[in-house]
């Protein structure tokens, strides 16, 4: 079992270009697994963790409803945003500047073969990170992601999640609002959930800007502890 994970910080990168890159890494891992099974090759499968920040984009998961996007094509263009239907779970979400997006592309055979545990670990990584900033973040029953003030009229989502897994290989991941422009969420019904607000770490802390590099360090620390993994690479 290979618990080493190659960390790559892609910086500011187009959503479609990043999606294509994810797909290439994902398919390479799957191909190795197929070769191992067919030829008893015993080749080591790789794991990756991509950090990225996207230009304004709305993405709709395979189980989502396009009516949850409240902009037409001309309005999208006016907002400088793009739209993609993609192959992850979940409904509609927004990515943009000031948001830390993480895409773990893991062979879960190297860790544990339980997709629900995988999602709970991703949520726990966020919860533990936000606790370091004095915030009590929680899961909301029946809703993937991480929230504040769950069960109150002030419930608000700070991190969205949506993953794809095939042959126990994962792609897509999480989007944590750190210094996000929350106005862009006004143009969707986030994750298809009406009446729930969205927030960002800088808003919760009353700061103009939170150090995103520091947040990434905390995320990686908690991820490595939860998954008992080691990172290497350009993070």
Is the separation of the CB atoms in 146 and 159 below 8 Å? yes
Is the separation of the CB atoms in 9 and 235 below 8 Å? yes
Q: Helix, strand, coil shares of the chain as percentages rounded to 5?
A: 35, 30, 35
Backbone angles phi, psi at 163, to 5 degrees: -130, 160
How far is it, in rounded angstroms, from Cα 70 to Cα 150? Answer: 26
DSSP 139: E
Known catalytic residues are: 191
- Count Cβ atoms below 10 Å from residue 134 Cβ, excluding itself: 8
């Amino acid at each position: 079992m290979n618990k080493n994970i190659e960390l790559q910080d892609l910086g500011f990168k187009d959503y479609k270009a990043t999606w294509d890159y994810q797909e290439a890494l994902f398919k390479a891992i799957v191909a190795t697994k197929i070769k191992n099974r067919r030829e008893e090759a015993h080749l080591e499968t790789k794991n990756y963790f991509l950090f990225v920040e996207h230009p304004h984009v709305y993405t709709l998961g395979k189980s989502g409803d396009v009516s949850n996007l409240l902009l037409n094509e001309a309005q999208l263009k006016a907002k400088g945003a793009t739209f993609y239907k993609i192959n992850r779970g979940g409904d509609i979400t927004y990515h943009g500047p000031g948001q830390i997006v993480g895409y773990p592309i893991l062979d879960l055979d190297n860790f544990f073969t339980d997709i629900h545990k995988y999602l709970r670990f991703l949520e726990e990584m966020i919860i533990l990170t936000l606790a370091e900033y004095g915030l009590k973040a929680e899961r909301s029953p029946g809703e993937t992601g991480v929230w504040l003030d769950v069960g109150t009229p002030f419930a608000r989502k700070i991190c969205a999640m949506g993953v794809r897994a095939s042959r126990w290989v994962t792609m897509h991941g999480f989007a944590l609002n750190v210094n996000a422009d929350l106005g862009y969420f006004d143009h969707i019904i986030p994750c298809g959930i009406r009446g729930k607000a969205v927030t960002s770490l800088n808003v919760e802390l009353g700061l103009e800007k939170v150090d995103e590099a520091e947040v990434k360090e905390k995320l990686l620390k908690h991820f490595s502890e939860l998954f008992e993994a080691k990172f290497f690479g350009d993070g």
